[in-house]
Structure 1
Amino acid sequence: MNTAESSTVASDLAWFKSSYSGAEGGDCVEVAAGTGSVHIRDSKAVAGPVVRVSRAAWAGFLQGA
């Protein structure tokens, strides 16, 4: 299951960006763990949409990456 949500819904989350993104910004995503779900957004558009997936779906993604 994944859903898109507005950035205001996820504004209280602690977001983490990959250490590979560098100081110049670059093409990167940010991830935040919520209660029962993981939130993903574009680090260059933090006010944009947020994709929410279940923790199981995120674990499966990481396992396959």
Structure 2
Amino acid sequence: MQHYQVKSVDTKHFRLTQADTEIGELEYDSWFSFTAEIMLADRTRYAIQPKGFWGTTIEIKD
């Protein structure tokens, strides 16, 4: 099993690391939003969007 660590930079930005190597970033639109974007080190981007009536489930899109 691989271990990852997420550290906050500020209220909207987070860094994802594995074995002390940064492999990506997560950036939320605002501090109260579930909408975000993941940017991996290889420049791959994924959109995170709320799904469902209450918006508490998220969907990750390529």
**TM-score (ref. length: structure 1):** 0.34
Higher strand share: 2
**TM-score (ref. length: structure 2):** 0.35
Higher helix share: 1
> Whose RCO is larger (CA < 8 A, sep 6+)?
1
